[in-house]
Amino acid sequence: MTCGPVGQGRFSIFRLVVYFTHTASLSLSLSNQKRKTVSRVVFIIHIKETNTFISTTTENPPRFPSDSLLFLSNKFQSIFRIAEILIFSAMNLFGFLLFLTLSSIASAYEKFDSHLLPRPLILEYPNNIEIRFKESDEDLQLLCSSWRFAVETNNLTPWKTIPSECAGFVKDYMTGKAYNFDLEMVSREAGIYARSIELVGDGNDVWIFDIDETLLSNLPYYADHGYGLEVFDGHEFDKWVEKGLAPAIESSLKLYEEVLGLGFKVFLLTGRSERHRSVTVENLRNAGFQNWDELLLRNLEDLGKSATIFKSERRNEMVKEGYRILGNSGDQWSDLLGYTVSNRSFKLPNPMYYIP
């Protein structure tokens, strides 16, 4: 019987399967250096096992039957030996390919840090995230731009704060060039209109200006309160008003001086309280505004009225007194709408708050 070589061959195949499986599992979790070491050990064992198998096969070659009684058993034994050689050859090829694979993986990974297999995925993932965020930022900018357009065109239902998603957008707008460009555009067009009018010259041609965010800027106050992100706090705002430090909106000051020079009477119509008259006068003068004809503030009986009603009532009184309201500048639609409206109204930009 040729038990020796057959047993040796079975033992070799069993060992090959064990260490190939073990090596494959190890390669998924080891570092590059260890993976390379394992692949080299696999190769050495593989060569050793091959030599052992070849030597035992050479020393115990398959024997052919010498008589008819042993023919069948020898025939089966030879077939089994041939099958074993074929299987072993296949394992040789598999082992060599595994060695090449492990070596190439280890070499490739040496280009990167000694991270585990997911490293290439991690390298690609931030790029995808960045693109998605970039698209999202663009969409957000467009949405906030649409929101601001709706504010300025008076298409929104009454609102108390700016959308939290647009906090950065509004801040950038108010502190960047865009806000000043928009202010200058409004004042320039208002000036063109004012110069186009042939005044009667009887002292009854009137231009109305609102004060807050029209002549004076409260941007220093709103910079400390989220540019409209916080719900309006009248008590805190009054503290700011009483400081009398609001700077002029330069483009409005230019228009103001121009319409005065053209012969308009200038009426200042504001939602500020009568108790703030003196500080408002002082603030206006310090900011460069002079020679207005009337400063109209809310008195006690006006405190519960909407701005639209309060200002419409004041405009109506002006008309009853014989004034012609030819121009009106304000940052809120409630400065401009209602009844007894001006011949032309000029809406200044203000995405920070809404006054009904």
Q: Which residue ranges make up the site for Mg ion (CB under 5 A)?
A: 210, 212-213, 331
User: How far apart are the C-alpha atoms of 327 and 343, rounded to whole Å?
Assistant: 6
Find the shortest distance in angstroms from Cβ 311 to Mg ion. Answer: 10
Find the shortest distance in angstroms from Cβ 239 to Mg ion. Answer: 18
Q: In terms of CB distance, is 32 or 252 closer to Mg ion?
A: 252
Find the shortest distance in angstroms from Cβ 183 to Mg ion. Answer: 13
Rounded to a whole number of angstroms, the distance between the first and last alpha carbons of the chain is 108
Burial (CB < 10 A; 0-12, 13-18, 19+), residue 179, is buried
Residue type, 46: H
- Strands annotated E in the chain: 205-209, 265-273, 294-298, 324-330, 344-347
Considering only CA atoms, which of 243, 307, 221 is closest in space to residue 272?
A: 307
Q: In terms of CB distance, is 46 or 311 closer to Mg ion?
A: 311
Q: In terms of CB distance, is 77 or 308 closer to Mg ion?
A: 308
User: How far apart are the C-alpha atoms of 20 and 350, rounded to whole Å?
Assistant: 73
- Across the beta sheet with 205-209, the strand order is 294-298, 265-273, 205-209, 324-330, 344-347
Considering only CA atoms, which of 326, 251, 262, 328 is closest in space to residue 288?
A: 251
User: How far apart are the C-alpha atoms of 42 and 99, rounded to whole Å?
Assistant: 7
Q: Which residues contact 4 (CB under 8 A, 6 or more apart)?
A: 56, 60
Q: In terms of CB distance, is 36 or 311 closer to Mg ion?
A: 311
Say if CB 277 and CB 244 are below 8 A apart: no
Residue holding tokens 């941007």? Answer: 219
Find the shortest distance in angstroms from Cβ 227 to Mg ion. Answer: 15
Q: In terms of CB distance, is 182 or 213 closer to Mg ion?
A: 213
Between the CA of residue 113 and those of 28, 34, 120, 353, what are the distances in Å? 16, 14, 11, 53
Q: In terms of CB distance, is 213 or 302 closer to Mg ion?
A: 213
Find the shortest distance in angstroms from Cβ 214 to Mg ion. Answer: 5
Half-sphere exposure at residue 14, Cβ-oriented, CA atoms within 13 angstroms: 6
Task: Give the CB-nearest residue to Mg ion.
Answer: 212
Find the shortest distance in angstroms from Cβ 118 to Mg ion. Answer: 57
Say if CB 270 and CB 213 are below 8 A apart: no
Find the shortest distance in angstroms from Cβ 324 to Mg ion. Answer: 23
Q: In terms of CB distance, is 27 or 328 closer to Mg ion?
A: 328
Find the shortest distance in angstroms from Cβ 270 to Mg ion. Answer: 7
Q: In terms of CB distance, is 35 or 272 closer to Mg ion?
A: 272
